[in-house]
Amino acid sequence: MSYSIAVLRGDGIGPEVTVEALKTLAAIKERFGHGFLYEEGLVGGASLDELGVPMTDDTLALCQRSDAILFGAAGGPKWDDASTDLRPEQALFRLRKELNLFANLRPVRSYPMLDEKSPLRPEVVRGADIIFVRELTGGLYFSQPKKRWQTPEGRRAVDSEDYSEQEIERVVRVACELATKRRKKVVSVDKFNALISSRLWRQVATEVGSEYADVDLSHMLADTFAMQLIVRPTQFDVVVTTNMFGDIFTDEAAVLAGSMGMLPSASLSGLPDGRTLGLYEPIHGSAPDIAGQGIANPLAAILSSALLLRYSLGLDEEACVVEHAVTSILEEGYRTSDIYSEGTRKVSTQEMGELVATRIREPKG
């Protein structure tokens, strides 16, 4: 089979980690004989600088006609001007909205060999294995009204949280489907006691959950969840929540994995049970402070390419091969600086990418 993949490297460490994800795919191609056809597009600050907009219609069209999108990162201090609303991140928002990428899957797990990199005690994080399903095309990020204006008393701005039952239903369904293949538990997180939109969220989530006899769907308030996530993370299997809450909790959850540099993501437009359009990106963002130094951890990008194989191309075995290669390289003690500790071997972004690619080509035992 031959697959077309749109490659949007973006800003900051985006390009350097994407290169390593491409090495992973090259190794998969060699071992399994798939054909990958890449087409590059500009996004984010890179596109703003070159073309004056965060993303052109051509780049959007490229993504629409591809089987999957590999995305690096967008944004950086160079484009952080609070007085303008023209921002690199708009490329991401436009892709999410126009490609209808409503379900953002963010798997978070603890790696036993990285236990001590977590600020939490090893016995707390050990065994944690959660998939967050973050709603990605609605809520506070997109709802209207969303504007700023001048009043006689001064400047004012508003964002809104608006959810339709259809928007809630489809994302909760993705969570339930995922749970059926895992530990069969879904926790839906909302702020039911304060927000009307959360009351609808809870109602619809309960209705969807009741269709899944073998899935145990329960609810948790966002503030309680924020605490439970670090008190006893092993209680969670699948967590589904709104766009804004999902953004916040997945950064918090990164402490379970030891580093943001370990967390991949998939943004999907359909159910994860067949081929579907998806955008794959590390959750760490552009990390401008370490860009260009060869020290960024490429594993989040590499693990994102595994999710691409699994969810967009239906290549589950190949995805597992990538994930096992990552685990095996970590077991051997190789670390980028974000996950380095004494007694392990520090490697560069590029070396880490090559180690994983080599392990894919030449599996052990």
Q: Which residues bind ligand IPM (CB under 6 A)?
A: 75, 89, 92, 247, 283, 285
Site string for Mn ion, 201-240 (x = CB under 5 A): ----------------------------------------
Phi and psi dihedrals of 84, rounded to 5? Answer: -115, 150
Residue 105, beta-bridge partner list: 133, 266
Tokens read off for 275: 């081929």
Site string for Mn ion, 279-308 (x = CB under 5 A): ------------------------------
Site string for Mn ion, 315-334 (x = CB under 5 A): --------------------
Distance CA(187)–CA(10), nearest Å, equals 34
End-to-end CA distance of the chain: 28
From 30-38, 56-64, 161-169, 247-255, give the range in contact with Mn ion by CB under 5 A: 247-255
Provide the pairing of β-strand 334-335 with 345-346.
Answer: parallel
Of 259, 323, 247, nearest to 296 (Cα)?
259
- Least distance between ligand IPM and beta carbon 97 (Å): 12
- Least distance between ligand IPM and beta carbon 96 (Å): 8
Looking at the Cβ atoms of 54 and 209, the one nearer to Mn ion is 54
**Residue 75 binding partner per list Mn ion, ligand IPM, none, with a CB distance cut-off of 5 to 8 Å that depends on partner kind:** ligand IPM
User: Does residue 191 sit in helix, strand or coil?
Assistant: coil
The HSE-up count of residue 237 (CA atoms within 13 Å, CB side) is: 17
From 2-10, 46-54, 114-122, 246-254, give the range in contact with Mn ion by CB under 5 A: 246-254
Distance CA(132)–CA(115), nearest Å, equals 20
Looking at the Cβ atoms of 198 and 265, the one nearer to ligand IPM is 265
Query: From the list 11, 89, 161, 247, which residue makes contact with Mn ion (rule: CB under 5 A)?
Result: 247
Distance CA(350)–CA(358), nearest Å, equals 12
Single-letter amino acid code for the residue at 322: V
- Least distance between ligand IPM and beta carbon 122 (Å): 27
Q: What is the dihedral of CA 321, 325, 326, 330, to 10 degrees?
A: 150
Residue of minimal Cβ distance to Mn ion: 247
Q: Does 135 bind Mn ion (CB under 5 A)?
A: no
DSSP 8-state secondary structure symbol assigned to residue 311 = I
Looking at the Cβ atoms of 72 and 258, the one nearer to ligand IPM is 72
- Least distance between Mn ion and beta carbon 290 (Å): 17
- Least distance between Mn ion and beta carbon 320 (Å): 27
Cis peptide bond upstream of 272, omega within 30? no
Looking at the Cβ atoms of 281 and 318, the one nearer to ligand IPM is 281
Of 307, 257, 309, 301, nearest to 283 (Cα)?
301
- Least distance between ligand IPM and beta carbon 178 (Å): 19
Distance CA(76)–CA(289), nearest Å, equals 9
Would you name the residues annotated as active-site residues?
A: 141, 191, 223, 247, 251
- Least distance between ligand IPM and beta carbon 89 (Å): 4
**Residue 89 binding partner per list ligand IPM, Mn ion, none, with a CB distance cut-off of 5 to 8 Å that depends on partner kind:** ligand IPM
Phi and psi dihedrals of 339, rounded to 5? Answer: -115, 10
Tokens read off for 154: 């001064």
Looking at the Cβ atoms of 209 and 285, the one nearer to Mn ion is 285
Distance CA(362)–CA(356), nearest Å, equals 10
**Residue 44 binding partner per list Mn ion, ligand IPM, none, with a CB distance cut-off of 5 to 8 Å that depends on partner kind:** none
Q: Note the residues at the interface with Mn ion (CB under 5 A).
A: 247
